[in-house]
């Protein structure tokens, strides 16, 4: 033994050291705890992160993984096809149609649905019992479940029994089956979409308009502003945050459109009315091409992420 430290002493030294390191950890912790913020993080982040990983991150990763396989959903995927699913997807004409249809929904939302909602909101935002009644009426379609709404409209559009048939009878023309018409079926769907969701956007605008200070409007009137000028220069600038939110919702809604399409046309005729999601469901899930479906899902995911980030960083950025 070169040094004369007894075994007992050694133990003591070691425990001293560990106590010292314990002390330094707790000191570091205290220093960085910023009023219990670090503690909260340590306690609450792991369960949240775990749940988020299991239910969000892993499925996304799995979808990305499966999209590289030709796989029918049975057992483990084994047939590696690299980017075969993606090349097949971009070559598929029905996918082009689905993308176009989704873009059409976005366009119609912004050009027709939102202005319509705004006009109605402007005319009924003041508090009175008739206005409440109209609000209720306009909001009703939104309350209705999508599938029920789809089935109702399928009946409306039916050329044999529906409202459409009495219309064509009155005009004395041949009965028209709009949902069986390659060129018009999607127009019919767009009509239903506008009808279904304008009430939702109207409510956002009404809420925003009720927050516009009355004295500002009165001041503008005293300054000689016309009704239109008051709307254009005072009300709309003040509810612009409501409008950006509603555009955000309508684009996101367009990317998700599915539950109206299935009962109305199921994507037909000739795949002319698919949206991205109904395309995913039809060609990925019902046909047992889980790999292919995953590829569609990944594309959809990328679209959503790109949109969300660009929108956040441009439209929804706080103007300083």
Partner 1 sequence: MRYQNTKTLHKLERNWKKVVYPMAIAASLTTSFTWADTTIRMLHLEADPKVVSVWEQVAHDYEKANPGQTIKLEYLENEAFKQKLPTLLQSEQRPDIFYSWGGGNFQTRVDAGLLKDVSKEMEDVKSKFSDVSFNAFNYQGKQYGLPYMVSQVGFWYNKSLFQQAGVDADQVVTWDDFLGAIKKLQAAGITPITTAGGDKWPVQFYWALLTMRQAGQQGIQDAIDKKEPAFAGEDFIKAGEELKRLVDLKPFQSGHLAASFGDSSGNFGDGKSAMQLMGDWNYLFQAQQSISGKGVGDDNLGWMNFPVLKDGKGKATDTLGGIAGWVLTSEASPEAVQWLKYFSNIEMQKHLASINMIIPVVKGADVAIENPFKKRIAQNIANSSWHQLFYDQAFGANVGSVVNDVSAGILGGALSPQEAAEQVQEAWEFE
Return d(Cα 273, Cα 278) in angstroms, integer. 9
CA–CA separation, 298 and 60 (whole Å): 8
181/259 with CB nearer partner 1: 181
Look up residue 41 and give its two tokens.
């993080």
Tell me the helix, strand and coil percentages in the chain, rounded to 5. 75, 0, 25
Q: Taking CB under 8 A as the rule, does residue 88 contact partner 1?
A: yes
Could you say whether residue 285 binds partner 1 (CB under 8 A)? yes
Tokens of 293: 């479906």
**Rounded least distance, CB 160 to partner 1, Å:** 7
CB atoms within 10 A of CB 266: 16
Decide: is 59 part of the binding site for partner 1 (CB under 8 A): no
Would you say 265 or 275 has its CB closer to partner 1?
265
Interface with partner 1 includes 245 (CB under 8 A)? Answer: no
Is 294 near partner 1 (CB under 8 A)? no
Taking CB under 8 A as the rule, does residue 191 contact partner 1?
Answer: no
Establish if 67 lies at the interface with partner 1 (CB under 8 A).
Answer: no
Give the nearer residue to partner 1 in terms of CB position, either 71 or 197.
Answer: 71
Assess contact for 276 and 304: CB atoms under 8 A: no
CB atoms within 10 A of CB 270: 11
Task: Give min distance, CB of 286 to partner 1, in A.
Answer: 6
Stretch binding partner 1 (CB under 8 A), from 12-20, 221-229, 264-272, 305-313? 264-272
> In terms of CB distance, is 285 or 308 closer to partner 1?
285
- The token duo for 267 is 């994507």
Whichever of 88 and 104 has its CB closer to partner 1, that residue is 88
Half-sphere exposure in the Cβ direction for 187 (13 Å, CA): 7
Gap between the terminal Cα atoms of the chain: 73
**Contact residues: partner 1, CB under 8 A:** 70, 72-75, 84, 88, 158-160, 174-175, 177, 179-182, 185, 265-266, 268-272, 285-289
């Amino acid at each position: 033994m070169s040094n004369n430290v007894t075994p007992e002493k050694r133990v003591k030294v070691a425990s001293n050291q560990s106590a010292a390191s314990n002390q330094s950890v707790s000191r570091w912790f205290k220093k960085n705890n910023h009023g219990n913020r670090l503690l909260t993080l340590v306690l609450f982040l792991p369960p949240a992160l775990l749940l988020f990983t299991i239910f969000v991150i892993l499925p996304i990763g799995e979808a990305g993984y499966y999209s590289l396989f030709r796989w029918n959903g049975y057992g483990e995927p084994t047939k590696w096809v690299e980017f075969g699913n993606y090349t097949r997807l971009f070559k598929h004409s029905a996918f082009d149609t689905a993308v176009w249809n989704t873009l059409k929904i976005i366009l119609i939302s912004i050009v027709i649905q939102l202005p319509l909602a705004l006009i109605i909101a402007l005319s009924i935002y003041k508090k009175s019992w008739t206005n409440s009644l109209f609000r209720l009426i306009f909001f009703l379609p939104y309350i209705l479940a999508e599938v029920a709404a789809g089935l109702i409209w399928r009946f409306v559009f039916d050329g044999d029994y529906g409202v459409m048939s009495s219309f064509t009878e009155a005009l004395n023309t041949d009965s028209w089956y709009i949902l069986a018409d390659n060129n018009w079926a999607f127009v019919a769907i767009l009509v239903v979409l506008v009808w279904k969701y304008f009430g939702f956007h109207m409510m956002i605008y009404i809420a925003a308009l009720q927050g516009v200070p009355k004295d500002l409007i009165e001041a503008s009137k005293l300054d000689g502003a016309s009704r239109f000028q008051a709307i254009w220069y005072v009300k709309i600038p003040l509810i612009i945050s409501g409008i950006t939110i509603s555009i955000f919702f309508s684009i996101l809604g367009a990317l998700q459109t599915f539950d109206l399409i299935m009962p109305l046309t199921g994507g037909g005729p000739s795949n002319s009315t698919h949206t991205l999601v109904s395309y995913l469901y039809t060609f990925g899930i019902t046909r047992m091409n889980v790999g292919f479906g995953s590829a569609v899902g990944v594309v959809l995911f990328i679209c959503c992420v790109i949109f969300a980030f660009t929108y956040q960083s441009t439209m929804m950025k706080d103007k300083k």
